[in-house]
Every structure is written in structure tokens, then in C-alpha cells.
Amino acid sequence: MSPSRTAAPARTGSADRQPPLIDLSSGQIVEPLPAVAREAMLRAAEDPRAAAYAPGPGLEELRAAVADHYARRTGTAAGPDDITVTAGARHGLFAALAAVAPGHDVLVPAPHWSHYPTLVRQAGGTPVTVPGDPDGARPAGPARLDAVRTARTRALLVNSPVNPSGACYDADRMRELRAWAADRDVTLIVDDTYWAYGSHVDTGVRPGPHEVVVGGASKVYALAGLRIGWVWADRPLVAAVRETVEHTTGPVSGPAQEAAAAVLREESRTGGTGAAVAGEAVARRAAELAGRRARALEAMAGVPFLRPVPPAGGLYLCLDASRALARRLLGAGDDRELCHALRRAAGVGLRAGSTFGMPGHLRLCVAETDDVLLAAGRRLTTCLTAAASAATDH
């Protein structure tokens, strides 16, 4: 999957130097560009109009490939006119929020991707956190949503598997959320970025007045650097989404769209329908990632003062750091301070759970080799054991 992401040793001006950083803080899968993508980009580069603007809504070939993907996955009709190409899924989320959120509240269940609150605010809305359970293992349901909903509530933003906790919204919970949103005139915005890593849009679902689906090529297709996302929406919302795209990024790179379209067409060629829609490359990636999650759990299970929270899917593993924080190991009083201290003292880069609405936890990306994950576990064990010993001696 991805190679180890390391940084050069920090120079301190003395004989003591930091070890090369094992950076588990970034959520991406790094693989060589597939042959079909390279070939598509080369063909696009040879076109005399390669440097021209692509069509504003996206290339028809890519929109058709995305529409075919959803038609095969959900069993419902979808066409190119239902799809808008965006500069990554993050931009797709912003465009969807800008279409429904200005002047209103958007419910954001915790834990959540760190960028959600800011995206909501930049789109003109107000993020309202829906409290989650301590480990984030049980996604929010109607009762929790009703406890914070007001007359200002206009949208609900969810993703599955959840970044960072790896919790998954099952089919029953998604049906409950769709019914809840329709009954209360709330738009359900589904962040579909990780769809193959633990959940699927339900069969029979079609975006309408109360649902928008946002996806992209970064995670499931390992094409993060191409910055290709999309929004699948009902026709009345498509116009608002496209207006936002027009006035923010404008058209996305044509050669990048050609590459993504080729990858999605290959998925269609090697995949099936419904739950078996994943093509060979996506299915391989999903299977490898499931193994990575299991081995990351094993690697972190022996780390003292950190407790792994088993994920049901996704790219990440969260560690409950409450014991380390209770003892103020490495002088850390909260998860942000502990992240900084572990980066400095252990040479392991993690993300603070508080940035995801999951305070007292640390997040790591599991899309690494077994050797890297095991080395990170050893470093954390050595560092925290020494810190606890020093605290006891003191």
C-alpha cells in the first residue's frame, strides 16, 4: 500500500538527534498511478486543446462514469446531468453545503472529520455538534439529532466509515436518517469518500430534495493528488452546486479528469453490481486495508497507557489516551500536547482526537506497511514506559 512517510532527522546542534519521523498523521493511500490512468493522461496531453479549460460541470466522460458507478451500486437511475465534478471531495462538500446551508444550522455528529465545522462556516452555515458516545463506536441516530435540532436546522452531514473512529452507519441506521431528514425537511449530505472501506449507499436510494451524495477519487481509488471529487444531487440542487463551482475553482484539470474516468471505467469493467460493485483494484485495496487495521490494532494493543478503539472500517485507528493524560506523561495535559510530545520524544506523528470532536484520543492512519506500524508501536511503548518511570521516580 503506501510507503513509509518519513522526514529527515531534525538537527539539534548537538550529538543527540531525533529519529526519522514515522508520520501516521496523514490519511492517504499512496500507490503508483494505474496504467489506465497514465495512458489516459498521455492521450489527453497529446490533444491540441490539452491546456484548454475543461467544461464547467466536468467532462461528460467522467460524469457518465460516476453516474454509472452509482447506478450499479444503488440500482437506481443516474445520469451525467446528475453529477458535478469538483476539485476534490472537500470542494464537493463545500459546494453542497453552499447550496443548502447559508443562514442555517448544519448538524455534525461527533466524532467527525476535522474540516467539517470550518467547511460549514465558510459555506455560510453554523455547525452544531451532535454529541457522540465516548469511543465514537455508535453513530448518531434520530434521538440524538432531535435533541439538538431547532427551527434553524437545514442539513445533516454524515460519513461512513467515520473519520476518525471507523464506525459505520449500517443500512438500518441510514434508512432511519433518511426518514428523519425527510420528515423534518432537512437535507442529508452523505460524505461517500470511504464507501468501499466499510459501508455502501443503500440499494434503491436516489438523491432528491432531502439527500446529496459527495464522493471522490482520493481514498478508494488512491488518486489523492489528482484532486477529483463529485456531487450527486437532485436536479434543482445541481444548478446551485454548479454555480458555486463556477465562482470558486472553475473547471477541474481536464487530464486529471480523463485519468479518473479511465479508472472508474476499469472498475465498471471488473466489478459487479450492488454490494459487489467494487472492481478488482478497489476490492484488493479494501482487503489489504482490512488487514492493515487488524495489524495496527495488534501493534498498538501492547502500548502502555494507550487503548486502541477497534474500528469497523476506514483508514484510521483511534487510541484512547485517557490513562496517559491522567498521569500527565511527557507533561501533556490534553491530546494536542500529547501529540506534540510524542512527535518530539518518540518520533511518531499522530493527530489529536480533539480536532475530530473526540477529545482524549489520538488518531493514526493504518495505510502503512506492517514494519512501519510495528516500529511505531515499539517507539510509543519505549517512550511512554520511560515517561511513566520518570514520573514515578520524580
- For the stretch 133-186, pLDDT in tens is 767 777 889 999 999 999 999 999 999 999 999 999 988 889 999 999 999 999
Cis peptide before 111, with omega less than 30 degrees from 0?
yes
Give the least confident one: 159-163, 271-275, 386-390: 271-275
Reading the block at residue 376, the C-alpha cell is 511505531
Percent of the chain with pLDDT over 90: 80
- 3-state class (DSSP) for residue 307: strand
CA–CA distance from 93 to each of 70, 205, 208, 332 (Å)?
Answer: 18, 19, 16, 34
Give the model's pLDDT for residue 9.
40
What single-letter DSSP state applies at residue 320? Answer: E
| Residues recorded for the chain | 394
Radius of gyration over alpha carbons of the chain, in Å? 22
Instruction: For residue 359, give the C-alpha cell.
Output: 477529545
Q: Which of 53-62, 173-182, 191-200, 275-284 has the highest mean pLDDT?
A: 53-62
pLDDT band at 382 (very low <50, low <70, confident <90, very high): very high
Euclidean distance between CA atoms 363 and 353, whole angstroms: 6
Instruction: Domains for the chain: give ranges and CATH numbers.
Output: 6-30+281-393 (3.90.1150.10), 35-275 (3.40.640.10)
Report, as an integer, the average pLDDT of 95-116.
97
Cis ω on the peptide bond leading into residue 161 (within 30° of 0)? yes
Single-letter amino acid code for the residue at 164: P
pTM reported for the whole predicted model: 0.92
Angle, helices 280-301/254-270, rounded to nearest 10 degrees: 90
Nearest to 157 by CA among 113, 223, 122: 113
Rounded CA separation 181/127 (Å): 17
Looking at per-residue confidence, does 335 or 18 come out higher?
335
Using the Cα atoms of residue 284, residue 286, residue 287 and residue 293 in order, give the sign of their dihedral.
Answer: positive
The C-alpha atoms of residue 272 and residue 278 are separated, in whole angstroms, by 7
pLDDT in tens, 323-334: 999 999 999 999
Amino acid symbol at 258: E
Find the mean pLDDT for residues 330-339. Answer: 98
Residue 77, pLDDT score: 85
Spatial strand order of the sheet with 316-320 comes to 307-309, 316-320, 361-365, 351-352
Q: Which residue has the cell 484532486?
A: 227
Would you state the pLDDT for residue 15? Answer: 39
**319 - beta bridge partners?**
308, 362
Q: Name the H helices within the chain.
A: 35-46, 60-74, 89-100, 116-122, 142-148, 171-183, 235-247, 254-270, 280-301, 322-326, 335-345, 370-393
Query: In DSSP terms, which residues pair with 126 in a beta bridge?
Result: 105
For the four alpha carbons of 106, 110, 111 and 114, in that order, the dihedral sign comes to positive
- Triad 199, 214, 123: Cα angle to 5°: 135
Q: What is the band of 17 on the pLDDT scale with cuts at 50, 70, 90?
A: low
Q: Is the pLDDT of residue 8 over 60?
A: no
More confident residue, 222 or 7: 222
Select the more confidently predicted residue: 135 or 120.
120
Quick one: how far is CA 338 from the chain centroid?
Answer: 23
Cα gap 201→158, rounded to integer Å: 12
